[in-house]
Structures are given as C-alpha cells and as structure tokens.
Amino acid sequence: MTLNKIEIYDTTLRDGAQAEGINFSVNDKLKIIKLLDDLGIDYIEAGWPGANPKDIEVFEAAKSMNLKHSKIVAFGCTRKANGKTEDDKILNELLQAGTEIITIFGKTWDFHVEHALCATLEENLNMIADSISYLKKCGKRPFFDAEHFYDGYKNNPEYALKAIKAAYNAGAERIILCDTNGGCLSSETKEITEIAIKHLPNAVIGIHAHNDGDMAVANSIIAIQAGAKHVQGTFNGYGERCGNANLCSIIAAIQLKLGINVLGEDLRKLVPVSRQISEIANKKANTHAPYVGISAFTHKAGIHASGVMKQSSTYEHINPELVGNTRKILISDQSGLASIKEKISKLNMGIDFTNDDTRRILEKIKELEWQGYTFEDADASFELMLRGVLEIKPVYFELKGFTVLADTRGMGQLNMEASVKIKVGDEILHTVSEGEGPVHAMDRALRLALKPFYPSIEKFKLMDFKVRILDGTDGTGAKTRVHIETSDGFERWDTVGVSRNIIEAAYFAIVDSIDYGLLAHREIPQNIHALNMK
C-alpha cells in the first residue's frame, strides 16, 4: 500500500501526557481532541484504555463526538509472553475502547527482548504477529509501533527487520519506526529508514522520534525525505524526559519546506492551537519555539529590524502569518531609527514624527535602558515615554508623597497599609488603603483617590506583577525592575518601573498603568494643560 500524502499522528494525549508536570483531566483531553480535529490532524491517540479509569472515560466520551476529520486511536502493547491473545487482558481492553484503529507497540531490539521481556527472540516475533492478527480478526485496523527500532537495527539489523516484517505480514496497516531513546543522528535515521522501506516496499512506513538528542524534528523530517509517509509526535514537543518530536515544527516544515500540503489554509491555525494546548496543559508556552513561539519572529537588533521592514526574507525564513504568528519589533538600546519608526507606526497614535523626534526618542530609550528600564514587554510605558519626549503626555495627577507600612497582627498575619498624597487639578487628596501586599495596598489607595475624577479607573484590574533584580551583587540594595500587567476587561497593557527601592519601582509601574488606561479611555485631565516629561 502506498500513500500520496503524509499522515499526521498526534500522541499528545498519551505520550505527551507522560511529561513531568502534565496531568490532563478527561475534559482537558476532550477539548484537545476538538482542537486537533478542527485543525485537520489525521489520527489522535487518546490514551491507553485500561491503564487508568480516566482513559476509559475518554474513549467512552469520544464515541459520541462528531469529529470532522480525525480518527481516534487506542494505544497498547502486544500480548504477554507465552500467553494466548484471546485471553490477554490488554488486548481485550483495547477492543473495548471501540476505536477503528488500534496502535500496539512491540519489541524490535533483541537486547530488550532478552533483558526486559525475558522472552526468546522467536517468542517475541510470535507475540507481535499473534497480536496484530487477533486485532485484524476482530475487525480492527492495527498499527505497529516498532519500539527501539533504530537502536535495535544498529545492534542486530537482521532481527529488527524480522520484527517489522512479522507485524506487516500479520496485517499491520502502518509500521512506525521508533527512536525510543531519542539518541539517533539524522544520518543514521535516513540510512535505516531507507533500509526498512526497501525491506517492506509495499508497507506504509512511519517515524516516531524522541528528543533526547535534540534531533527529534530533524529526524522526523529526514525520515519523510527518505520515504516515510506517516509521522508521529506531540504538540509543543511534550513528552517524557526531553519530550517527543514537536508536531508544530514538523507540520510547518512539511508544508512550507518540503512543499507537501498537510493542512492547507488551516496551517494558519497552528499558533492558536499550540497556545490553547499550552493553556489546557497548564504549561508556560515556549516563547522561543520555532514557528509558534511569541519570539519566533521577533527582531531586536537595529540592522535586523531595518532589513525585515524592507524585505522580510532578509531575516525571516517564512512569512509568520502562514502559521498564524506575527512579527514583533522590540525597542531597546540596540534599536536603530528604522526599529523606532516601525514601532511607532504600529501604535496608531495619529501623530506625525519627524526624524529629529525619532532621534530624540532613541536617545531617551538608551538613557532609560542604561538606568535599567526595558520596553520589550512594556508597550504602554513605551507610548507614555514617547509622549513625554514630545511634551504631549497628559498629567492626570501629581504625587506629593506616599507611605507604605507593614503591621503584624499575631502569628502569620501581616497587614499592609499604604497612604498616598496626590494633587488632582487644584485639589490635594490624602487617601489610605489596606492590601494583601505593598503594591496591592498602594494601587488601591491611588484608585480610591482618583475614582471620583476619572470613573473609568474602576474597570482597571492589576493582572500580573513581576519583579527582576538587576544587579544581584548589591544584595537587598540592588536596583529592581517591576513589570505590571493591567486589564480593563477587554484590553491588556504592560508597564515598567525601575528603582533601587522596590516600592518606588512598583509605584512608577502602577502610575504608568493608570495613566495609560486613562489615556486609552479618553479621560480628560483635570488640569488639561499640564504636561510631564518622563
């Protein structure tokens, strides 16, 4: 049997779930199945029926799912040594999962047969053939994962080839060659894959690579170039130890580099699906992941940014929009005039900037970054800084002073209180508020004072708070950078503050978050003519 396409087989819900720190619930798995089906993945390995009650529930729920494209696959292993297939508990639990396709793995490395299974080499071949034949007889479509095939071939090529031939002759529809220990080089993968294809010229050969040598994606691609028509992996490269081959990179490479259509226009869904799966897995997305990472098409150096803006292919290997990603130009002390202009144009401020303005802004950025500021993840503070340089930054209030107190109230109880004294228009206000911490207390005190003048402030909510020590050699007196993320329920914005006093650094970030929010909500300053330089 030959194929005119490359099949994509996802094992995020089984192999990926074996990653440290991942524990999918039944509902999590069902959500991911829907995402993968909508994306157009061919096969979704949902788990090992019988291995735990959760997977039994998943397969039961999957029976009533109206999938548009994907086929659900159950995973298990061959019968036990010297046992009967009809009586084998694992095989019968696989049948009860109710899937059309069942993938079973079997040993193809003689070392494992003798030392892990404690079986004879001949009995292992019987286990493979008997299990495949039994599933076939029961009306199933069996796939065979040739566990440790590449290592097995390197140790005993004749036996490894006998093992996959036993599976194929018994009726396995796919023979998947596994680099289970993840230690193969691409040159080895190519050579051994080509040999397996020549050995079984009518079989559909696949690849299942692990990433212990950081070669899983490369090995998967080279196996396809060698003739494999089926590739297995996980989204975001989740998996035991160093993970599995990352399907995000594999799918993009097949379609955009090899020119083989896999997902068509749906390739643009790759980034959102990757990030949604990260959320479901409760794992922080790898910002530097190829193709799908938020930094995959981010440019910081001035020369790079200038080149990309003239012609994206100067420093980008693909158009980021093809996979659903976006280009990002960072602003830092390494930025050139082109980077600044590109960043300003995306802010849609409705202001004409001259070349002289841009040079002054660049000098200000370099000065502030020398002090410890960074605007890479603080667009709101960046815009406020621009307005300050151009002397068009509105002043919503003026600080006259603030105090933060910590008060213990018995064992384990620490009360934080902040008082702020500010001037709004012609009024001087002094407010006090308590909070869970110094930043929370100060934020509440400021809002309490400003709410009567600027009603939209009630919508603002502090979403995230990050602290970075900039010069650790100074100990507790080190300069500190604080990042704050704020939301009004619809939009989010990021601000930054720097000081040797963490409370003051937090204050600067909070003030920027409030100023930007009021500006975005078109609040009119009480003293409309007041301007303030950053």
Least confident of 105-109, 308-312, 386-390: 308-312
Per cent of the chain over pLDDT 90 is: 57
Q: What one-character-per-residue DSSP string does 459-514 give? A: G-EEEEEEEEES-GGGGGGS-EEEEEEEE-SS-EEEEEEEESSHHHHHHHHHHHHH
User: What's the confidence (pLDDT) of residue 33?
Assistant: 97
Q: Could you read off the pLDDT of 208-227 as tens digits, one per residue?
A: 999 999 999 999 999 999 99
pLDDT, tens digit, for every residue of 92-107? 999 999 999 999 999 9
* pLDDT in the model for residue 530: 46
* Residues in contact with 189: Cβ distance below 8 Å, sequence separation at least 6, in sequence order: 150, 179, 207, 209, 215, 219, 222, 223, 226
Given a cut of 80, whether residue 83 has pLDDT beyond it is: yes
Which pLDDT belongs to residue 304?
56
- Whole-number pLDDT of residue 369: 73
Strand 427-435 to 461-469 pairing: unpaired
Residue 475: predicted pLDDT: 53
| Banded pLDDT at 394 (limits 50, 70, 90) | confident
Who wins on pLDDT, 200 or 526?
Answer: 200
At 534 the pLDDT is 36
The set of residues, in sequence order, having a beta carbon less than 8 Å from that of 413 and lying 6+ positions away, is none
pTM for the structure as a whole: 0.71
Report whether pLDDT(86) > 60. yes
Q: SS3 for 141? A: strand
Q: From the CA atom positions of the chain, what is the Rg in Å?
A: 30
Is pLDDT above 50 for 75?
A: yes
In what helix (H) or strand (E) does residue 417 lie, and over which residues does it extend? Answer: strand 414-424
In this prediction, residue 500 carries a pLDDT of: 86
Looking at this protein, which amino acid is placed at residue 285? A
Quote the CA–CA distance of 521 and 515 in Å, as a whole number.
10
Distance CA 178, CA 459 (A): 54
Percent of the chain predicted with pLDDT > 70:
88
**What pLDDT is attached to residue 247?**
98
Mean local confidence (pLDDT), 125-154: 98
Judged against a pLDDT cut of 70, whether residue 334 lies above it is answered with no
Which is higher by pLDDT, 216 or 3?
216
Asked if residue 179 has pLDDT above 80, the reply is yes
Q: DSSP character for 115?
A: I
Average pLDDT, the chain: 88
Helix (H, G, I), strand (E, B) or coil at 72: strand
In the structure encoding, which two tokens stand for residue 257, read together? 């580099």
Cα–Cα distance measured from residue 273 to residue 266, given in angstroms and rounded to the nearest whole number:
11
Q: How far apart are CA 503 and CA 445, in angstroms?
A: 14
429 in helix, strand or coil?
strand
* Model confidence pLDDT, tens digit, residues 277-291: 998 998 888 989 999
Strands across the sheet containing 492-499 = 461-469, 480-487, 492-499
- Category of 201 on φ-ψ map: left (φ > 0), alpha (ψ -120 to 50) or beta: alpha
d(CA 471, CA 482): 14
Q: Is the dihedral of CA 142, 92, 15, 10 positive or negative?
A: positive
Query: pLDDT tens for residues 55-64?
Result: 999 999 999 9
Give the total residue count for the chain. Answer: 534
When pLDDT is cut at 50, 70 and 90, the band that residue 331 belongs to is low
Using one digit for the tens of pLDDT, what is the confidence trace for 347-358?
Answer: 666 667 777 877
Q: What does the pLDDT look like over 224-237, one tens digit per residue?
A: 999 999 999 999 99
Of 194-208, 240-254, 294-308, 365-379, the one with minimum mean pLDDT is 294-308
Domains and CATH numbers, the chain: 7-281 (3.20.20.70), 298-364 (no CATH), 398-520 (3.30.160.270)
Distance in angstroms (rounded) separating the CA atoms of residues 413 and 408: 6
Separation of alpha carbons 11 and 241, rounded Å: 15
Predicted pLDDT of residue 147: 97
**Rounded-to-integer distance, Cα 520 and Cα 460, Å:** 11
- State residue 450's pLDDT score: 92
The burial of 316, by beta-carbon neighbours within 10 Å (0-12 exposed, 13-18 middle, 19 or more buried), is given as middle
Averaged pLDDT, 235-243: 97
Cα dist. 493→41, 351, 378, 534 in Å?
35, 20, 7, 18
Confidence tier at 3 by pLDDT (50, 70, 90): low
Model confidence pLDDT, tens digit, residues 103-128: 999 999 999 999 989 999 999 999 99
pLDDT digits (tens, 9 = 90+) for 405-458: 887 765 566 778 889 998 998 889 999 998 888 888 888 999 999 999 999 999
pLDDT band at 327 (very low <50, low <70, confident <90, very high): confident
* Residue 533 confidence class, pLDDT cut points 50, 70, 90: very low
For the record, the structure tokens of 328 come out as 């990002």
HEC per residue, 188-248: HHHHHHHHHHHHCCCCCEEEEEECCCCCHHHHHHHHHHHCCCEEEEEHHHCCCCCCECEHH
**What crossing angle do the helices spanning 247-256 and 270-281 adopt, rounded to 10°?**
170
